[in-house]
């Protein structure tokens, strides 16, 4: 099952690198082009069709560096000693005769002996280097085998195969997917074993303190309720639950802009997600209607006199392809409002990210925040199960703040009362965006060789035919170039190396959100071996508890949303993921500066991983920490960036003196 946080792109008849969608099935608008050399946030018309609204160098190895320094010194030492002996010999024998011949033979013997000694030293040091490196790779296992009864070493179970064996061997002995960065993974295992006796970095579970304090205030209104007399807006949202969430809040803003009545949003069925869930299966309908009643009127269905209209025949159907991405409010006033006034109804089909973030009137922007952070609440079935997941991750909920109340409703308080008096443990939530659709769409290589390339190419041919055609007809950037530019999704190996370098201890409880990881259990072997306290919704819930959600990918994604949003720390692996974007924005809005989010800069990480065969762990650790520290700092929303991802702006939050 593919990840439930994206919407499938439609193939474009106009094939170019710039015309393709940036990620499989709907990426956050700010992620940048997949093959581009820069990033632009300017809205551009959809390339899908012409609509009625259109106008026409590597670091040296430490061992090699040592030898480059030591060999000349050794050669000089041996040479100088030989020269001294030759000078003394000439003085004794007078330079000729039998004595000279005997001296020559002795000199040759000593010279040969010196060469042999020198060669032996070289071989000795190379053998020592190999021996120490082999011990470093699997130190935890060796310690455990020597001390099977020791309680201080509990890194790997004796019943398990070697870490490196688990990383490289699949079931029957065949390689399923190649494992990248085996050397760094060995160093990480050694570092985690040593870190057990040391405290974690002080800022690991903290959000950097900014110069300004913000508080949430999107629930404040400064306008009169509109009567909605211009007509009715119907929205059929596509994609996964996170794309649908964005579409809903954009539709609320459009309904207000056009002084119209919003019909409760509908969700299109997708052959990718195979989820028939509608609005009322995921969100509380009455809360949504009542919370926004002072902004716009919302009804559950069209009036009977309009239900019989052939909307397509009268021109009231507006498809996603007819609206430019992130269209400005003026587009809706100039193009959509006349249709609405004429026909009394407009139906947006496949609606998604079709409203710009700037320029947008202040109160209209605040309405989008109010919808996303206040009006949309999960139904009780999802709230109750989400509360169970949080309870089992932190050994019973110990507090109930605004975030828990918004996410869980009354179940936050109930779990607090029922909870045993156990000191709650902190947990880290990680969204691993490494499903096969993401891997295939990126056109990157992940260490699996020809078999992996063929596998991903076959998937592209079925699900992304435009990419296949483009690759066959146009010179596309190489996989190595894409990786160096940070365009490849982080693999589970890269993600676990990032976490280990940041200082998360081996015993850290980690919740993994996402769908089926490409490569399956083998691909997850590295993170499972280094961090055994991994959990997913499937492992935390019993079969009867998860049964009501089976075959409903959007509802399962809602559970991931809840656990990630409430985590003590949240790490994303793809900043373009809509789930990661919405979760990070939610934590920013409700966290009060106490819910840190780890946002990797994939381009900078790629430059670090390129030195994986030579870089030492200390340097790797320092460079990764410096990179993450820069992206962990929260700033005010940049112009034209998503208000859902960056709510720290005057329209959504208020500053506190």
- Residue 109 sits in which domain range? 62-115
- Give 89's contacts (C-beta < 8 A, 6+ positions apart): 103, 106, 107
- pLDDT-derived band at 180 (thresholds 50, 70, 90) equals confident
- 131 within a domain of the structure (yes/no): no
Which of 115, 134, 154 corresponds to the end of one domain? Answer: 115
C-alpha angle 195-143-198 in degrees, rounded to nearest 5: 15
CB 240 within 8 Å of CB 26? yes
453 and 364, same structural domain? no
Which of 97, 115, 133 corresponds to the end of one domain? Answer: 115
Angle between helical axes of 182-195 and 520-530 (0-180°, round to 10): 30
- 12 within a domain of the structure (yes/no): no
* pLDDT score for 92: 41
CB 140 within 8 Å of CB 189? yes
- 612 within a domain of the structure (yes/no): no
- 352 within a domain of the structure (yes/no): yes
Instruction: Quote the CA–CA distance of 167 and 175 in Å, as a whole number.
Output: 10
Which residues on neighbouring strands pair with residue 18, listed in sequence order?
none
Mean pLDDT, the chain, rounded, equals: 80
DSSP letter for each residue of 465-492: HHHHHHHHHS-PPPHHHHHHTT-SPPPH
Instruction: Quote the CA–CA distance of 239 and 215 in Å, as a whole number.
Output: 32
* pLDDT score for 419: 47
Instruction: Quote the CA–CA distance of 511 and 500 in Å, as a whole number.
Output: 15
- 52 within a domain of the structure (yes/no): no
pLDDT digits (tens, 9 = 90+) for 234-247: 999 998 999 999 99
Element (H, E) at 351: strand 345-351
Which residues on neighbouring strands pair with residue 569, listed in sequence order?
428
DSSP state of 17: T
Angle between helical axes of 617-632 and 602-609 (0-180°, round to 10): 170
Split into its structural domains, the chain has a count of 3
pLDDT digits (tens, 9 = 90+) for 393-434: 986 555 678 999 999 999 987 656 554 545 558 999 999 999
- pLDDT-derived band at 55 (thresholds 50, 70, 90) equals low
* pLDDT score for 158: 29
Closest-CA residue to 349 (of 367, 369, 323, 387) = 323
Beta strand 534-535 pairing with 509-513: parallel
- 79 within a domain of the structure (yes/no): yes
324 and 245, same structural domain? yes
- 73 within a domain of the structure (yes/no): yes
Angle between helical axes of 578-590 and 553-565 (0-180°, round to 10): 40
- 39 within a domain of the structure (yes/no): no
Q: What is the pTM of this model?
A: 0.76
């Amino acid at each position: 099952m593919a990840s439930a946080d994206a919407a499938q792109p439609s193939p474009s008849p106009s094939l170019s690198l710039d015309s393709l969608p940036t990620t499989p099935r709907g990426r956050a608008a700010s992620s940048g082009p997949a093959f581009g050399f820069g990033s632009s946030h300017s809205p551009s018309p959809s390339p899908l069709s012409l609509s009625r609204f259109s106008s026409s160098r590597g670091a040296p190895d430490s061992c090699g560096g040592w030898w480059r320094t030591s060999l000349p010194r050794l050669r000089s030492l041996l040479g100088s000693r030989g020269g001294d002996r030759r000078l003394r010999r000439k003085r004794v024998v007078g330079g000729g005769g039998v004595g000279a011949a005997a001296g020559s033979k002795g000199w040759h013997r000593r010279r040969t002996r010196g060469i042999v000694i020198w060669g032996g030293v070289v071989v000795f040091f190379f053998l020592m280097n190999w021996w120490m490196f082999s011990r470093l790779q699997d130190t935890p296992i060796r310690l455990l085998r020597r001390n099977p009864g020791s309680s201080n070493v509990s890194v790997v179970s004796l019943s398990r195969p070697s870490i490196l064996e688990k990383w490289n061997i699949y079931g029957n002995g065949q390689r399923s997917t190649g494992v990248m960065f085996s050397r760094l993974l060995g160093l990480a295992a050694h570092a985690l074993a040593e870190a057990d006796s040391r405290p974690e970095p002080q800022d690991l579970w903290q959000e950097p303190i900014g110069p300004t304090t913000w508080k949430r205030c999107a629930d404040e209104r400064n306008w009169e309720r509109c009567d909605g007399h211009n007509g009715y807006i119907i929205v059929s949202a596509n994609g996964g639950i996170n794309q649908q969430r964005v579409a809903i809040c954009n539709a609320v803003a459009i309904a207000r802009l056009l002084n119209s009545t919003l019909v409760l949003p509908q969700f299109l069925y997708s052959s990718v997600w195979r989820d028939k869930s509608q609005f009322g299966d995921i969100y509380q309908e009455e809360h949504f209607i009542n919370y926004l009643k002072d902004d716009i009127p919302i009804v559950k269905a069209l009036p009977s006199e309009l239900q019989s209209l052939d909307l397509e025949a009268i021109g009231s159907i507006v498809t996603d392809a007819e609206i430019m991405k992130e269209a400005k409010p003026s587009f809706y006033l100039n193009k959509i409002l006349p249709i609405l006034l004429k026909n009394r109804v407009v139906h947006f089909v496949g609606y998604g990210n079709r409203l710009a973030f700037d320029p947008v009137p202040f109160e209209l922007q605040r309405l989008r925040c109010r919808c996303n952070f206040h009006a949309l609440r999960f139904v009780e079935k999802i709230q109750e199960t989400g509360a169970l997941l949080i309870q089992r991750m932190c050994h019973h909920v110990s507090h109930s703040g605004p975030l828990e109340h918004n996410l869980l409703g009354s179940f936050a308080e109930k779990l607090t009362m029922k909870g045993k008096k156990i000191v709650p443990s902190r947990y880290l939530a990680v969204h691993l965006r490494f499903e096969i659709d993401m891997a295939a769409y990126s056109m990157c290589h992940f260490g699996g060789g020809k078999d992996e390339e063929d596998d991903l190419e076959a998937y592209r041919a079925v699900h992304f035919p435009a990419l296949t055609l483009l690759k066959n007809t146009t010179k596309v950037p190489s996989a190595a170039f894409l990786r160096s530019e940070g365009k490849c999704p982080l693999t589970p190996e890269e993600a676990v190396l990032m976490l280990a370098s940041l200082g998360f201890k081996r015993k850290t409880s980690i919740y993994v959100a996402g769908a089926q990881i490409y490569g399956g259990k083998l691909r997850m072997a590295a993170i499972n071996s280094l961090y055994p306290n991994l959990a997913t919704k499937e492992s935390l819930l019993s079969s009867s508890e998860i049964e009501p959600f089976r075959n409903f990918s959007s509802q399962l994604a809602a559970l991931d949303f809840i656990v990630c949003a409430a985590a003590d720390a949240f790490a994303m692996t793809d900043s373009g993921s809509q789930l990661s974007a919405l979760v990070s924005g939610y934590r920013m809005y409700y966290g009060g500066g106490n819910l840190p989010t780890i946002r990797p800069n994939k381009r900078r990480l790629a430059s670090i991983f390129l030195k994986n065969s030579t870089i030492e762990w200390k340097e790797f650790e320092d460079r990764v920490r410096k990179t993450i520290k820069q992206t962990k700092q929260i700033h005010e929303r940049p112009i034209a960036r998503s208000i859902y991802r960056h709510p720290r702006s005057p329209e959504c939050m208020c500053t506190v003196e």
